[in-house]
């Protein structure tokens, strides 16, 4: 049994060894075949890689060759460009060298010329100095005297040329302006023809007899004292037969006093109580008439929207005169004239009429307020809420303020036309003679004037000049200077014409 087990175990061991050896042999056979296959695969792989390597080398060589050709081409092109740049630089260097040579030559030439110029200048200065000395000896004038003489000659020539230019410009502008202005003004005057009534600045009341003077004076003068106290005017009783005079700066007060006195004379009962009663009635009547006259003036001109207080002040102008011309009628005429000229020029007709009607409104209260009537009227119109354009035209109608609107200029022109009409205004003989004398005195004060004569009631001054002192162009300058001085020193209605006459007379005798 034991032998059987040992034999079994030995057989098993032998079987295992035989199996192991058999598997080992088989494995070694597989390994050797695998190694051979691997070697074959490796050899094929090496052959393929060698072929690809050769192909890559060939492609790389071709690419390197192409790159080398491109690089050589670029290098060649750049070398050519560098060569061109070098040639240009060489040319520029040659040009710069040539320029520097030319500049050196020019410098030398300029230096030599400067030296020559300095030498010539020195020679010229010496020559001028010698000539000046000779001229001073020949002319008998020093340098300063000769310079003053030359300046005076230049000044005279400049004045002459300026007078020529002024004459040409004035002639051209005057022709154009006069044609248009004459047409407009003539048309306005033709269409507006107003009556002019000259009034005095005092009121004369006729009496039925000289005995009435005593009744007016009253016992111990109580009647005349009451009358003057109530009316605020001066009652002048003198030797004038059958008349007494009422004097006052306020025309409205004078009118009230005139009506009061006429009623007292008619009634015949002159005593303080009756005087007071008649005064109140006359005052109420004048106030009502002032209101009615103001409203009628506004209606006649064709305006609306005028302040009631302004119309009352306007009505007071009925009793106000200027150089004998009734101011209310003058204002209405100015309004019509300004409106007509505004229509010709195509501007605001209503505004021109309104400004023309109110332009002298300040004269109604100028005895109560200090200042010119133009400024007083402008302030009154402003206080009564009148328009800015009208206020400006009022204050500018006597050129106390520069006119800035065409309506203001039209009011100035219309005012001058109305005041300058023949017969529109009158002045006392004394003031008239003084104005004519002043005109002639102003003209005679200028150098070269031989004589002057006031003509056409002082509306023209004719100036005779010495022909050997003032030439034709000097007459233009003289007329302007005389006009300017007249404007500065005289007050006058309308305008004054200055005519300068220059006459050359040559006298000889046949023997």
Tens of pLDDT, residues 329-385: 888 888 888 888 888 888 888 988 888 888 888 888 766 667 778 888 888 888 888
Position 102 in a domain: yes
DSSP H or E stretch at residue 453: strand 449-455
Q: Which of 10-24, 129-143, 215-229, 286-300 has the lowest mean pLDDT?
A: 129-143
Domain boundary among 135, 165, 190: 135
- Sign for the pseudo-dihedral over CA of 422, 427, 432, 438: negative
* pLDDT of amino acid 198: 38
Tell whether 393 and 456 lie within a shared domain.
Answer: no
State the total domains in the chain: 3
**Tokens read off for 485:** 């001085």
* pLDDT of amino acid 195: 44
Position 185 in a domain: no
Beta strands (DSSP E) in 281-362 are 321-322, 325-326
* pLDDT of amino acid 367: 66
pLDDT tens digits, residue range 450-461?
888 887 767 788
Full domain range(s) for residue 241: 203-420
Domain boundary among 378, 398, 420: 420
* pLDDT of amino acid 230: 85
Position 162 in a domain: no
Position 478 in a domain: yes
pLDDT tens digits, residue range 272-315?
888 888 889 988 988 888 889 888 888 888 888 888 888 888 88
C-beta of residue 418 within 8 angstroms of C-beta of residue 412: no
Query: How many whole angstroms separate alpha carbon 366 and alpha carbon 411?
Result: 20
Q: What is the full DSSP assignment across 408-466?
A: HHHHHHHHHHHHHSTTT----HHHHHHHHHHHHHHHHTSTTEEEEEEEGGGTEEEEEE-
* pLDDT of amino acid 193: 46
Tell whether 226 and 356 lie within a shared domain.
Answer: yes
Kindly tell me if the per-residue pLDDT of 197 is higher than 70. Answer: no
Beta bridge partners of 244: 205
Whole-number average pLDDT of the chain:
80
Kindly tell me if the per-residue pLDDT of 233 is higher than 80. Answer: yes
Tell whether 263 and 399 lie within a shared domain.
Answer: yes
Q: What is the mean pLDDT of residues 254-265?
A: 87
């Amino acid at each position: 049994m034991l032998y059987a087990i040992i034999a079994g175990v030995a057989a098993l061991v032998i079987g295992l060894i035989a199996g192991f050896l058999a598997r080992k042999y088989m494995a070694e056979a597989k390994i050797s075949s695998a190694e051979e296959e691997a070697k074959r695969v490796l050899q094929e792989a090496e052959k393929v890689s060698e072929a690809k390597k050769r192909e890559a080398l060939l492609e790389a060589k071709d690419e390197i060759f192409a790159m080398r050709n491109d690089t050589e081409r670029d290098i060649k092109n750049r070398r050519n460009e560098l060569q061109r740049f070098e040639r240009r630089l060489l040319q520029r260097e040659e040009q710069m060298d040539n320029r520097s040579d030319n500049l050196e030559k020019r410098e030398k030439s300029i230096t030599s010329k400067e030296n020559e110029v300095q030498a010539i200048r020195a020679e010229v200065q010496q020559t001028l100095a010698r000539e000046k000395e000779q001229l001073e000896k020949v002319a008998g004038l020093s340098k300063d005297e000769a310079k003053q003489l030359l300046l005076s000659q230049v000044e005279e020539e400049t004045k002459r040329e300026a007078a020529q230019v002024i004459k040409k410009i004035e002639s051209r502008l005057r022709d154009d302006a006069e044609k248009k202005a004459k047409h407009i003004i003539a048309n306005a005057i033709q269409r507006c023809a107003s009556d002019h009534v000259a009034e005095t600045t005092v009121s004369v009341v006729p009496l039925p007899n000289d005995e009435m003077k005593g009744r007016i004076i009253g016992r111990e003068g109580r009647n005349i004292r009451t009358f003057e106290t109530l009316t605020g005017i001066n009652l002048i009783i003198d030797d004038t037969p059958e008349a007494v005079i009422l004097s006052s700066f306020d025309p409205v007060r004078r009118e009230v006093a005139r009506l009061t006195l006429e009623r007292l004379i008619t009634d015949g009962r002159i005593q303080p109580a009756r005087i007071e009663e008649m005064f109140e009635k006359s005052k109420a009547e004048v106030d009502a008439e002032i209101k009615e006259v103001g409203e009628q003036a506004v209606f006649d001109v064709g305006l609306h929207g005028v302040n009631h207080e302004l119309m009352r002040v306007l009505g007071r102008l009925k009793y106000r005169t200027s150089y004998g011309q009734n101011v209310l009628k003058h204002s209405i005429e100015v309004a019509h004239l300004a409106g007509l000229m505004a229509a010709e020029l195509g501007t605001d007709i209503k505004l021109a009429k309104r400004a023309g009607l109110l332009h002298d409104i300040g004269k109604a209260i100028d005895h109560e307020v200090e200042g010119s009537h133009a400024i007083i009227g402008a302030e009154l119109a402003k206080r009564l809420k009148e328009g800015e354009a009208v206020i400006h035209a009022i204050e500018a109608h006597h050129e106390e303020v520069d006119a800035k609107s065409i309506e203001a200029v039209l009011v100035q022109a219309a005012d001058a036309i109305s005041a300058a009409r023949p017969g529109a205004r009158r002045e006392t003989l004394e003031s008239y003679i003084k104005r004519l004398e002043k005109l002639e005195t102003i003209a005679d004060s200028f150098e070269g004037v031989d004589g002057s004569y006031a003509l056409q009631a002082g509306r023209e001054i004719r100036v005779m000049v010495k022909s050997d002192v003032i030439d034709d162009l000097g007459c233009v300058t003289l007329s302007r200077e005389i006009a300017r001085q007249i404007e500065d020193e005289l007050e006058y209605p309308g305008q004054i014409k200055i005519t300068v006459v220059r006459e050359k007379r040559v006298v000889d005798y046949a023997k």
